[in-house]
């Protein structure tokens, strides 16, 4: 295995650049950090393009599997690549998956309408995965899912469900064509108590922007708008909490 000892090595420069959206789109690849995420990727059959490891990982099972695409890096290089103070000496370059809606939609889908906070987007994707949803549709204005903060919060869920990027108006039209209900979350006088809805089969659930909620134009196209009644004094829930409560109602 080749040894990389300088942060000026081209591969290392490339790995750093693969933490930015612009370069990720250009190269159709992104950066993964840590054995947990990398093992999840391998378990899901993701063809890693490069594995960059410190010496202590040379005998790891995953390294043997990707031997031809593995490089040993010096500790200072690992430190340079890591987002966190304490790095675990394992990094990878993974391909960005196909981000289109399957022709036949089935199962539960989470639709994100301009959800801006990367931590919220990552947590919502992780929750959708835990709740058994088929995929998450990233609408216009929503944080890019391969932003390192989203990747950290997703905890590997991108390997378990389908991520799709498209305007939500188009996505909703496709659910309508498939005669599948789409539930919105615009709080208006027609909104119904979320506990009265328990869809089975194929459906969509739209979560809106943290501050402004869901786009009213989109909400006109939904089957119903759901509201979580709040018996207490707080005016609203954190967007990721609201999404979690709704998603688990719809399991």
Q: Residue 162 Cβ, how far from a copy of itself at the closest point, in Å?
A: 12
Between 166 and 228, name the residue whose CB sits nearer to a copy of itself: 228
Would you tell me how many other CB atoms lie within 10 Å of the CB of residue 30? 24
Q: Residue 111 Cβ, how far from a copy of itself at the closest point, in Å?
A: 17
Between 68 and 231, name the residue whose CB sits nearer to a copy of itself: 231
Q: Please say whether the beta carbons of 82 and 76 come within 8 A.
A: no
Q: What is the 3-state secondary structure of 105-139?
A: CCCEEEEECCCCCHHHHHHHHHHHHHCCCCEEEEC
Between 81 and 226, name the residue whose CB sits nearer to a copy of itself: 226
H-run or E-run covering 75: helix 75-81
Round to whole Å and give the CA distance between 236 and 225. 16
Q: Residue 132 Cβ, how far from a copy of itself at the closest point, in Å?
A: 4
Q: Please say whether the beta carbons of 214 and 239 come within 8 A.
A: no
Would you tell me how many other CB atoms lie within 10 Å of the CB of residue 60? 17
**Residues of this chain that bind a copy of itself (CB under 8 A):** 123, 126-133, 153, 155-157, 160-161, 228, 230-234, 236-238, 240-241, 244-245, 248, 251
Between 99 and 245, name the residue whose CB sits nearer to a copy of itself: 245
Q: Residue 23 Cβ, how far from a copy of itself at the closest point, in Å?
A: 26
Residue 213 — left, alpha, or beta (φ > 0 → left; ψ -120 to 50 → alpha)?
left
Q: Residue 108 Cβ, how far from a copy of itself at the closest point, in Å?
A: 10
Between 14 and 87, name the residue whose CB sits nearer to a copy of itself: 87
Q: Please say whether the beta carbons of 170 and 238 come within 8 A.
A: no
Between 50 and 213, name the residue whose CB sits nearer to a copy of itself: 213
Please give the order of strands across the beta sheet that includes 182-184: 162-165, 135-138, 108-112, 203-207, 182-184, 224-227, 192-193
Q: Residue 155 Cβ, how far from a copy of itself at the closest point, in Å?
A: 7
């Amino acid at each position: 295995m080749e040894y990389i000892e300088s942060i000026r090595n081209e591969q290392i420069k490339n790995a750093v650049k693969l933490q930015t959206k612009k370069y990720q789109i250009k190269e159709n690849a992104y950066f993964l950090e840590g054995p947990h995420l990398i093992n999840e990727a391998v378990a899901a059959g993701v063809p890693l393009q490069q594995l960059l490891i410190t010496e202590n990982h040379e005998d790891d099972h995953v390294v043997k599997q990707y031997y031809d695409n593995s490089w040993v890096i010096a500790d200072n290089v690992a430190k340079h690549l890591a987002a966190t103070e304490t790095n675990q000496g394992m990094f990878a370059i993974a391909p960005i998956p196909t981000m289109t809606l399957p022709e036949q939609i089935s199962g539960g889908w989470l639709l994100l309408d301009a959800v801006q906070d990367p931590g919220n987007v990552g947590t919502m994707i992780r929750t959708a995965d835990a709740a058994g949803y088929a995929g998450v549709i990233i609408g216009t204005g929503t944080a890019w899912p391969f932003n390192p903060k989203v990747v950290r919060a997703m905890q590997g869920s991108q390997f378990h469900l389908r991520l799709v990027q498209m305007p939500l108006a188009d996505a909703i039209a496709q659910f309508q064509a498939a005669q599948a209900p789409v539930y919105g979350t615009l709080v208006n006088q027609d909104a119904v108590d979320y506990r009265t809805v328990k869809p089975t089969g194929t459906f969509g659930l739209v979560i809106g922007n943290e501050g402004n909620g869901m786009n009213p134009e989109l909400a006109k196209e939904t089957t119903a708008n759901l509201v979580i009644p709040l018996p207490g004094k707080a005016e609203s829930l954190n967007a990721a909490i609201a999404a979690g409560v709704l998603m688990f109602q719809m399991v």
